Amino acid sequence: MGNKINLSKYNIRTDLIVDIIDNNSNVNKETDTYEGVKITRVEVKKDMEEELNKKKGTYITIEFDDVTNYEDREKIGKCFENEIKKLLNKLNIKDDDDCLIIGLGNEKSTPDALGPLSIKNILVTRHLFILNTNHKEGLRSVSAVIPDVMGNTGIETSDIIKSIVNTIKPKFIITIDALASSSINRLNKTIQMTDTGIHPGSGIGNSRKEINKNTIGVPVIAIGVPTVVESSIIVNDTIKYLLKHISYIKNNFSKSKLTYTKFGNYLDKIKNSDLSQEEKKEILGMIGELSEEDKLSLINEVLTSINYNLMVTNTEIDYLILKLSEIIANSLNNALHRQISHF
Amino acid sequence: MGNKINLSKYNIRTDLIVDIIDNNSNVNKETDTYEGVKITRVEVKKDMEEELNKKKGTYITIEFDDVTNYEDREKIGKCFENEIKKLLNKLNIKDDDDCLIIGLGNEKSTPDALGPLSIKNILVTRHLFILNTNHKEGLRSVSAVIPDVMGNTGIETSDIIKSIVNTIKPKFIITIDALASSSINRLNKTIQMTDTGIHPGSGIGNSRKEINKNTIGVPVIAIGVPTVVESSIIVNDTIKYLLKHISYIKNNFSKSKLTYTKFGNYLDKIKNSDLSQEEKKEILGMIGELSEEDKLSLINEVLTSINYNLMVTNTEIDYLILKLSEIIANSLNNALHRQISHF
Amino acid sequence: MGNKINLSKYNIRTDLIVDIIDNNSNVNKETDTYEGVKITRVEVKKDMEEELNKKKGTYITIEFDDVTNYEDREKIGKCFENEIKKLLNKLNIKDDDDCLIIGLGNEKSTPDALGPLSIKNILVTRHLFILNTNHKEGLRSVSAVIPDVMGNTGIETSDIIKSIVNTIKPKFIITIDALASSSINRLNKTIQMTDTGIHPGSGIGNSRKEINKNTIGVPVIAIGVPTVVESSIIVNDTIKYLLKHISYIKNNFSKSKLTYTKFGNYLDKIKNSDLSQEEKKEILGMIGELSEEDKLSLINEVLTSINYNLMVTNTEIDYLILKLSEIIANSLNNALHRQISHF
Amino acid sequence: MGNKINLSKYNIRTDLIVDIIDNNSNVNKETDTYEGVKITRVEVKKDMEEELNKKKGTYITIEFDDVTNYEDREKIGKCFENEIKKLLNKLNIKDDDDCLIIGLGNEKSTPDALGPLSIKNILVTRHLFILNTNHKEGLRSVSAVIPDVMGNTGIETSDIIKSIVNTIKPKFIITIDALASSSINRLNKTIQMTDTGIHPGSGIGNSRKEINKNTIGVPVIAIGVPTVVESSIIVNDTIKYLLKHISYIKNNFSKSKLTYTKFGNYLDKIKNSDLSQEEKKEILGMIGELSEEDKLSLINEVLTSINYNLMVTNTEIDYLILKLSEIIANSLNNALHRQISHF
């Protein structure tokens, strides 16, 4: 029973702002790169909240290809550290403001263990300030908790968080959590940070459970990595690329031949190939004529009605979560403290 | 580095005989049930080896819906125990024949940890016979090893196994391993056992690495559970059901309406709905006209060329692997020993 | 840093009432047995608090020899379940009173992991009541938290507990923790339960941090197992038995011979052999003349001044903690719920 | 059952050469320091084997105070790396000689998990040579196995090792194991390396199970850390220091006063204080008159006959084993490969 897995947190269709703005040109965004790592900064204004189903605030996303290589991890970590520092500045958080870090999710379920695992590598120092030891030179007061999921504790996670926040009264909060992706190409390849806080297990409607500046009184920075994706999204994405692939071949080669040896970055090559409604119908019949939204909805319906709309993850997830949690913890340690003598 | 994950073992398209015979009516099979658990027994003859890409021998598969419930696990375990006992009898294995159990796979990668985790619950007794203690009453001599994967040891797994087998000379061998599925509906819902042994990381061609009666001299029973599936299979399966779904609606209702509220077991309802080539083209255009094989091949090609043909698994995999490994270990303990006084 | 181990909780000389009353005949105790498990029930009155350095209240201790055997574990578990039920009755706790279970200690330090490990096997049900599901038949509302230690969170454990208690307002609390022993023969062989609550990291003076009926307003049952012991206690105990051993031999055999083959339960044989002051001096010189208390104090001083007064534990501690946590969790599950359909 | 702990490996009184030569001035030793880390190099000649109960060969021991501090770990690691490199040179092991590393012990028992945990951080490369990839630049071929203990596998550990060695035929072997200490002050504060190989579960008599150059044909370097100690050794050591402590006070102060505030390194101050037989008798009576050997033997007898001669370990063992295994693995990685591009 204690082992039962609570998937309610995966209910939200997508947790990534970049998944949304891919298909919405009304949003102002700023893009940047750091040593090959792609950075996207988005400001959601009050009047866009409903359209985007996203809270107003700042969203920063970094995207990368690979965490299996030491050099790449160094770059991702440095980029993430820089962006977190800028966000702290923007929120007027001072060098000695007390910080509480919260590792959300379920340690016993690998794709949901990003938060708890990150906490294990966080440099916790608040007790050095309480005990007034000499070892706090150059350090900020940082505490860290793993509230666990409702299926394991029997208690709503937001209740546990609010209790602790009310008692220790930090100056700001950082949460770390696994997210759901709405595109296969961002799975375990993206870190999002935002100052809009968290609203566990719900959309923007359910304000009772929200943990953000309005409900808690202090800034709440939410860090997330998409670690799971619905099968229907995999199917929908594949059909999208299938259309682009066939279109690309038809336009560049003869109509009859459907296969073709690819060179270079094939995705970049076909990405912008847009098909006419006529072409779509030719290649994919009635299905091809549906809008993106209707197609995803239909796929979803089929998979759900036969009980196959699995939430899935990479098979290398143990290794990926380990490395991602190390990147996040180390970068936070560097961003939060002026000087870390080694522990 | 030691953390790198070796996916070469997932190279084989499918490891399950039932995935193959779904589409092949030439195979003699016997079906049975035990308290709701479905049993399929298949004998592959020499002359069918090439067509099925499966070694000649006995394959027994049990299929079930759910391992999250205690009562269901009891039934699955009892069914598995019965089938293993029958297989031991068929292979003329005697009550006191020495057994070596091998837990294949990578303990550090959850979907690949079925073998190592099962071993942890195996009742190991061989040393009681070596040391000649009194505690061996009613017990068979059983030893158990976890050879780990080449990425962690630097040594071919079959080399480690053969070394140990040559030294301790068991009368028969049981292996436990995670498999790849070629259908989404069997993922973590099937246990296969066969007397054909294992051929790590290859099809039936590469005989050098095979561990079976021919290469080792003693019977090798391989137990496997499909825990991973390729994205392309998810897409292909979904398209198949999408066609059946639309066809079902069209035939039962008006042509124009694509959505519909489902009752009862919808999968059973649409499963046998077969579409004409004409219908397939209408619904799915050029893609609809392709054969099953060409369609899967095309999907595979698209996903591979844009690097998205992920091998995926359920997000509840930690819990599922834990319960499946307990079922396997407990049933083996019961099948192998005449009487277990509790440890 | 997050890995640093907080030993402050081991500061108290002894946590077991039976260690104290061994040497104090002023205390009323009731002894009992259940299938070979020894039970001691003690009521500490207000006027004995100071003398015993123990809070007034009920203390129940069960003592056993071995948790490596399945049959023995069954008996220990049943005995513990019976005593917990009696204590719940005595405290007027009703069948449907909401319960919060707290697993104290550090999961990353094996001898201190009893609390966290026990929680993993606790049947958590409070969310079934919140969500008002049908699965709560025969069950009590139970929640469970692992507050972790200050070295890992930066927050005083009692602050975390009080925050959560104030929010969810349980009708009673059960804590589970590892204790320090003041005798080697009870190490990992005793479970103590008491209604006096806990006072983390201190004696009875520091009331600010206490978690008990007075500070929290609801009954707090503390369950503990001694899993660690100071080296000085090992030395002192050994010297005590050394004296008894030599005296026994001298009285039963010739003076000159110091070694002797033992039969039966040698400890029982020598336990009651009391030496005169003269004998003690003869055998152990100046040291022999010291009172028990002065001897322990001297040993403590020597070991502390050369930095060797280690807190130690059995080398089989991983196995022992695992089995003890299973006994505690299973017995609590049985004692707290009227009927458990299997999960 | 699979969880049962095999303590047979702890049968040997002491595994450390420095524990023996402390009390034997016949042995030639060379002492050195590296940044505060103490180094002792001993050559045991054939004619000393029996007297020392140690195989002829080279023994290098490094001793240190603390692994809880990053800077200290860096120094210990560098010192260990230097000594291993010198030993490889002395044994004429070449830069590209194939190496097999064996992690002995039981991963499930923390104080016995040093070997298995070290293996997790070893850079394994042999498969890169088998597969002939480009990534092997600057690397030696290294493989690594965890043979587990007989209680878990049912197979003698030496049988597993010999099987694998015969199959992959490395040019030299390195083993890593937890040892038993015969003094409390070296517990988890010493790393020993020797070219004499290992003889699991026995003294030098049982040659059948030995893994060394004679039985295997290639050099076997055994690395060990004392992680457990018998209670009787703690008691005997304490009595020894108790005598020195009292003698020191008596000689420096008045006879009547037994307690005294210590300054500086008190151990160094009292270490060399030798007592006359007369003094020993005065302070410790008959016991004081016994030889060191007889005293230990008597203590052992008392504790064994009442079943309290526990094998114990520090309560911080999880943290200590983690850090020690990291030091060993990282230093081995640096010593074995010419150049490690980061993984």
Q: What is the pLDDT of residues D292-307, one digit of tens each?
A: 888 888 998 888 887 7
Partners of residue D116 in chain C, C-beta under 8 Å: none
Partners of residue B144 in chain D, C-beta under 8 Å: 2, 152-154
The predicted pLDDT at position C324 comes to 98
Query: Is the pLDDT at A211 greater than 60, yes or no?
Result: yes
Structure token pair of residue C285: 């010189």
The predicted pLDDT at position D170 comes to 98
- Longest Cα–Cα distance in chain D: 77
Which one of C140, C153, C166, C328 would you mutate to disrupt binding with A, by most A Cβ within 10 Å of its Cβ? C153
Length of chain C measured in residues: 343
Query: Is the pLDDT at D1 greater than 50, yes or no?
Result: no
Partners of residue C2 in chain A, C-beta under 8 Å: 119-124, 144
The predicted pLDDT at position B1 comes to 28
Q: First vs last Cα of chain D: how many Å apart?
A: 38
Q: Average pLDDT of each block of 10 consecutive residues along chain B (343 residues)?
A: 32 69 80 96 90 89 92 96 97 96 95 96 94 82 96 94 95 96 89 90 53 93 94 91 84 56 66 82 89 87 83 91 97 92 56
Q: Do B311 and A313 touch (CB under 8 A)?
A: no
Which one of D123, D155, D336 would you mutate to disrupt binding with B, by most B Cβ within 10 Å of its Cβ? D155
Which distant-in-sequence residues (6+ apart) come within 8 Å of D321 by Cβ?
D110, D111, D113, D114, D117, D227
User: Which DSSP symbol is given to B222?
Assistant: E
**Closest-CA residue in chain A for C128?**
A154
The predicted model gives A260-282 an average pLDDT of 74
Torsion angle, alpha carbons of B33, B34, B37, B39, to 10: -50
Nearest by CB to B286, from A112, A283, A299: name it: A283
**Does the domain made of D17-229+313-336 have the CATH classification 3.40.50.1450?**
yes
**Closest-CA residue in chain B for A65?**
B307
The predicted model gives A202-213 an average pLDDT of 63
Q: b/e for A178-215, b at 16 or more Cβ within 10 A? A: bbbbbbbbbbbbbbbbbbbbbbbbeebeeeebbbbbeb
Partners of residue A123 in chain D, C-beta under 8 Å: none
Radius of gyration of chain B (CA): 22
Q: Do D110 and C108 touch (CB under 8 A)?
A: no
To the nearest whole angstrom, how far is the Cα of B277 from the nearest Cα of chain A?
13
Which one of D66, D70, D73, D123 would you mutate to disrupt binding with A, by most A Cβ within 10 Å of its Cβ? D70
Nearest by CB to B238, from A266, A302, A313: name it: A302
Instruction: Give the best-scoring range by mean pLDDT among A63-67, D76-80, D246-250, D260-264.
Output: D76-80
The predicted pLDDT at position C336 comes to 97
pTM of the model as a whole: 0.90
Question: How far is it, in rounded angstroms, from Cα A57 to Cα A45?
Answer: 7
Q: Do B123 and D2 touch (CB under 8 A)?
A: yes
pLDDT-derived band at D208, boundaries 50, 70, 90: low
Structure token pair of residue A111: 């794709």
Would you say the ipTM is above 0.90?
no
Residue C18 contacts residue C186 (beta carbons within 8 Å): yes
Neighbours of B121 (CB within 10 A): 18
Question: How far is it, in rounded angstroms, from Cα C36 to Cα C59?
Answer: 20
Q: Do C315 and D312 touch (CB under 8 A)?
A: yes
The residue to which tokens 């708890």 are assigned: A116
Nearest by CB to C153, from A145, A152, A343: name it: A145
Q: Do B184 and A283 touch (CB under 8 A)?
A: no
The predicted model gives D69-87 an average pLDDT of 96
Kindly list the residues of chain A whose beta carbon comes within 8 Å of any beta carbon in chain D.
69-71, 341-343
**Closest-CA residue in chain A for C150?**
A127
Query: Is the pLDDT at A10 greater than 50, yes or no?
Result: no
Residue D176 sits at φ, ψ, to 5 deg, of -130, 130
Mean pLDDT, chain C, whole residue set: 86
B301's enclosing H/E stretch is: helix B292-305
The predicted pLDDT at position D63 comes to 96
Query: Is the pLDDT at C232 greater than 60, yes or no?
Result: yes
pLDDT-derived band at A247, boundaries 50, 70, 90: confident
Which distant-in-sequence residues (6+ apart) come within 8 Å of A139 by Cβ?
A123, A125, A128, A337, A338, A339, A340
pLDDT-derived band at D200, boundaries 50, 70, 90: low
**Closest-CA residue in chain C for D186?**
C308
C-alpha count within 13 angstroms, C-beta hemisphere, residue B38? 11
H and E: helices and strands count for chain C: 13, 9
Query: Is the pLDDT at D259 greater than 80, yes or no?
Result: no
Partners of residue C302 in chain D, C-beta under 8 Å: 238, 241-242, 245
Question: How far is it, in rounded angstroms, from Cα A62 to Cα C319?
Answer: 44
DSSP B111-145: GG-HHHHHHHTS---HHHHHTT-GGGTT---EEEE
The predicted pLDDT at position A310 comes to 84
Chains in contact with chain C (at least 3 beta-carbon pairs closer than 8 A): A, B, D
Partners of residue D162 in chain B, C-beta under 8 Å: 167
**Strand, helix or coil for residue B260:** coil
Q: Do B163 and D159 touch (CB under 8 A)?
A: no
Residue C248 sits at φ, ψ, to 5 deg, of -60, -45
Structure token pair of residue B65: 């819906």
Interior angle at CA D331, CA D328 and CA D333, nearest 5: 105
pLDDT-derived band at A246, boundaries 50, 70, 90: confident
Structure token pair of residue C191: 């479970």
Q: How far is CA A244 from CA A80, A83, D57, in A?
A: 33, 35, 70
The predicted model gives D133-151 an average pLDDT of 90
Residue C153 contacts residue A145 (beta carbons within 8 Å): yes
**Closest-CA residue in chain B for A245?**
B302
The predicted pLDDT at position A187 comes to 92
Which one of C109, C297, C312, C320 would you mutate to disrupt binding with D, by most D Cβ within 10 Å of its Cβ? C312
Q: What is the pLDDT of residues A315-330, one digit of tens each?
A: 899 999 999 999 999 9
**Closest-CA residue in chain B for C341?**
B70
Pairs of CB atoms within 8 A across A/B: 178
Question: How far is it, in rounded angstroms, from Cα D275 to Cα D288?
Answer: 10
Q: What is the pLDDT of residues C186-221, one digit of tens each?
A: 999 999 999 999 876 543 344 557 899 998 999 999
The predicted pLDDT at position D10 comes to 34
Per DSSP, what are the bridge partners of residue C172? C99
Instruction: Give the best-scoring range by mean pLDDT among A49-53, A284-288, B305-309, C4-8.
Output: A284-288
Task: Give the residue with greater pLDDT, C57 vs A262.
Answer: C57
The residue to which tokens 């009681």 are assigned: B128
Phi-psi region of C183 (alpha: psi -120 to 50; beta: other; left: phi over 0): beta
Q: Do B110 and A4 touch (CB under 8 A)?
A: no
The predicted pLDDT at position D264 comes to 54
**Closest-CA residue in chain C for A170?**
C155
**Closest-CA residue in chain D for C271?**
D306
Question: How far is it, in rounded angstroms, from Cα D337 to Cα D343?
Answer: 13
Nearest by CB to C315, from D234, D270, D313: name it: D313
pLDDT-derived band at D255, boundaries 50, 70, 90: very low
The predicted pLDDT at position B309 comes to 82
Nearest by CB to C143, from A4, A120, A153: name it: A153
Structure token pair of residue D40: 């002792």
Task: Kindly give the residue spans of alpha helices, DSSP state H, lying in D122-192.
Answer: 126-130, 150-153, 157-168
The predicted model gives D72-81 an average pLDDT of 97
To the nearest whole angstrom, how far is the Cα of A6 from the nearest Cα of chain D?
29
Residues of chain B with CATH 3.40.50.1450: 17-229+313-336
pLDDT-derived band at A251, boundaries 50, 70, 90: confident
Q: Do D108 and C319 touch (CB under 8 A)?
A: yes
Chains in contact with chain B (at least 3 beta-carbon pairs closer than 8 A): A, C, D
Torsion angle, alpha carbons of B162, B164, B167, B170, to 10: -90
pLDDT-derived band at D203, boundaries 50, 70, 90: very low
Which distant-in-sequence residues (6+ apart) come within 8 Å of A288 by Cβ?
A243, A279, A280, A281, A282, B285
Question: How far is it, in rounded angstroms, from Cα B238 to Cα A235?
Answer: 7
Partners of residue A321 in chain B, C-beta under 8 Å: none
Q: Do D143 and B160 touch (CB under 8 A)?
A: no
**Closest-CA residue in chain B for D148?**
B145
Kindly list the residues of chain C whose beta carbon comes within 8 Å of any beta carbon in chain A.
1-2, 4, 119-127, 130, 141-146, 148, 150-156, 159-160, 162-164, 166-168, 343
Chains in contact with chain A (at least 3 beta-carbon pairs closer than 8 A): B, C, D
Pairs of CB atoms within 8 A across B/C: 9
Percent of chain C with pLDDT over 70: 89
Q: What is the pLDDT of residues C144-161, one digit of tens each?
A: 999 999 999 999 999 999
pLDDT-derived band at D78, boundaries 50, 70, 90: very high
